[in-house]
Amino acid sequence: MAEDVPRGQTSGLTKSSGTQRRFPLPCSPAIPTMAKEPVRVLVTGAAGQIGYALVPMIARGVMLGADQPVILHMLDIPPAAEALNGVKMELVDAAFPLLKGVVATTDVVEACTGVNIAVMVGGFPRKEGMERKDVMSKNVSIYKSQASALENHAAANCKVLVVANPANTNALILKEFAPSIPEKNISCLTRLDHNRALGQVSERLNVQVSDVKNVIIWGNHSSTQYPDVNHATVKTPAGEKPVRGLVGDDAWLNGEFITTVQQRGAAIIKARKLSSALSAASAACDHIRDWVLGTPEGTWVSMGVYSDGSYNVPAGLIYSFPVTCCAGEWKIVQGLHIDEFSRKKLDLTAQELSEEKELAYSCLS
Ligand SMILES: NC(=O)c1ccc[n+]([C@@H]2O[C@H](COP(=O)([O-])OP(=O)(O)OC[C@H]3O[C@@H](n4cnc5c(N)ncnc54)[C@H](O)[C@@H]3O)[C@@H](O)[C@H]2O)c1
Ligand SMILES: O=C(O)C[C@H](O)C(=O)O
């Protein structure tokens, strides 16, 4: 595989018995620490706007940690090859200490070879006035063909995050056409919606967003998603308090709050004439970081994962659930009370996902 290691980025490293050791530097601890092996991270659609926001975050350690070296694999299509090369040039110019190599290619096999993490952003974004279903036929066929490249060439146990819309259904198609990738390794991004819900609560209560936790996004990354605050809390000097009690306005929480989060993607498109990018890239980092490094004690996050029938969500859909992560594995949070209002919303978004699944298969036949 052609791989360029940015000049000067291996200084201070030497090979010893197949492992890399760091020379003691003036400010380093007396006992030299073992440098970690680089993790290979694939970003498809890397010349696009999410890609442009995402690759520097990964190279800076936002996704995998400040001590984790990475090798970036960037894929785009031939018309974007020159722009992709420009992104690669900028990565070299940024001299990121953690970045140990860059593979920039339009060859899907080269891009997928040996990757440990795959962030699938490549595809056609929704434009103003388009519904997500309009981008379905273009995108599901991409995910069908990239499924086999990942299945055959990625590292064993590669973790896959699908960002491109329709994210849940693209992830489902990828799963179905890559049968040897364990279903627990395939997910889609609803962390952006989760973060949007945290942001709305924090603005409404005028509290730090980092003090709000355990909102839930149920279902599809679409306008049928259900942002649920029934179990969410805010850290206060007097302990953790339920969001519902602190807000004290059920009409807002059951109405405007939900529609604001559901429609936030469309609102960004209306304002920017482009879909969200920096927040999507940041959420993709949050998603992978928590999956790989674990969620904090007592905190859950939302991930689109393969339904096992929990909460009576039909099995066989990629559906967003509250999950906790530990040792690289996610687990759906069980036993949460679902009231009648919520039940209807969980079912409605499941219904849309079943319809999308049918439509996706009809686009592929
Ligand atoms: N899940 C989420 O929360 C979320 C949020 C925002 C955007 N999105 C979606 O993410 C996707 C990317 O958005 P963007 O704004 O970066 O779009 P963009 O058009 O700026 O970039 C997409 C890139 O994908 C490339 N591409 C197209 N087909 C490809 C293929 N077969 N293989 C590899 N690359 C390919 C394009 O050339 C382009 O560079 C869109 O589908 C968008 O709707 C999802
Ligand atoms: O809604 C969209 O198409 C854009 C994106 O998925 C978003 O949520 O910002």
Complex ipTM, two decimals? 0.99
Query: For ligand 2, atom 1, which residue shows the shortest CA distance?
Result: 265
Q: Whole-prediction pTM value?
A: 0.92
Question: According to the model, what pLDDT value does residue 30 have?
Answer: 56
Ligand 2 pocket mutation, candidates 54, 163, 165, criterion most atoms within 8 A of CB: 165
Residue 279: pLDDT over 80: yes
Instruction: Tell me the average pLDDT of the chain.
Output: 91
DSSP 3-state assignment of 265?
A: helix
Query: For ligand 1, atom 11, which residue shows the shortest CA distance?
Result: 164
Superfamily of domain 39-188: NAD(P)-binding Rossmann-like Domain (3.40.50.720)
Residue 7: pLDDT over 50: no
Residue 305: pLDDT over 70: yes
- Quick one: what percent of the chain has pLDDT higher than 70? 89
Between the CA of 318 and the centroid of ligand 2 the distance, in Å, is 17
Which of 100, 27, 186, 133 has the alpha carbon at shortest distance from 357? 133
Catalytic (active-site) positions: 221
Give the model confidence (pLDDT) of 68-110 as tens digits: 999 999 999 999 999 999 999 999 999 999 999 999 999 999 9
> Is 8 or 157 the better-scoring residue by pLDDT?
157
Question: According to the model, what pLDDT value does residue 16 have?
Answer: 35
Contact assessment for residue 229 and residue 215, using Cβ atoms and an 8 Å cutoff: yes
Between the CA of 3 and the centroid of ligand 2 the distance, in Å, is 33
**Which residue in this structure is represented by tokens 């936002």?**
62
Contact assessment for residue 35 and residue 69, using Cβ atoms and an 8 Å cutoff: yes
> How far apart are the C-alpha atoms of 334 and 223, rounded to whole Å?
25
Between the CA of 245 and the centroid of ligand 2 the distance, in Å, is 30
Query: For ligand 2, atom 8, which residue shows the shortest CA distance?
Result: 265
> How far apart are the C-alpha atoms of 225 and 188, rounded to whole Å?
13
Between the CA of 266 and the centroid of ligand 2 the distance, in Å, is 6
Query: Is 217 near ligand 1, meaning CB less than 6 Å away?
Result: no
Give the model confidence (pLDDT) of 115-142 as tens digits: 999 999 999 876 767 766 677 888 888 9
According to CATH, the topology of domain 191-364 is: L-2-Hydroxyisocaproate Dehydrogenase; Chain A, domain 2 (3.90.110)
Residue 254: pLDDT over 70: yes
Query: Is 221 near ligand 1, meaning CB less than 6 Å away?
Result: yes
Domain boundaries, the chain: 39-188, 191-364
- Quick one: what percent of the chain has pLDDT higher than 90? 84
Of 18-22, 196-200, 321-325, 361-365, which range is least confident? Answer: 18-22
- CA 13 remoteness from chain centre: 32
Would you list which residues are annotated within the binding site for substrate? 126, 132, 165, 196
Ligand 1 pocket mutation, candidates 50, 128, 130, criterion most atoms within 8 A of CB: 50
> How far apart are the C-alpha atoms of 165 and 50, rounded to whole Å?
12
Here the tokens at position 295 are 């969620």
> How far apart are the C-alpha atoms of 115 and 237, rounded to whole Å?
44
Ligand 1 atom closest to Cα of residue 84: 39
Contact assessment for residue 162 and residue 188, using Cβ atoms and an 8 Å cutoff: yes
Which of 273, 23, 101, 337 has the alpha carbon at shortest distance from 346? 337
Residue 34: pLDDT over 60: yes
Ligand nearest to the CA of 43: 1
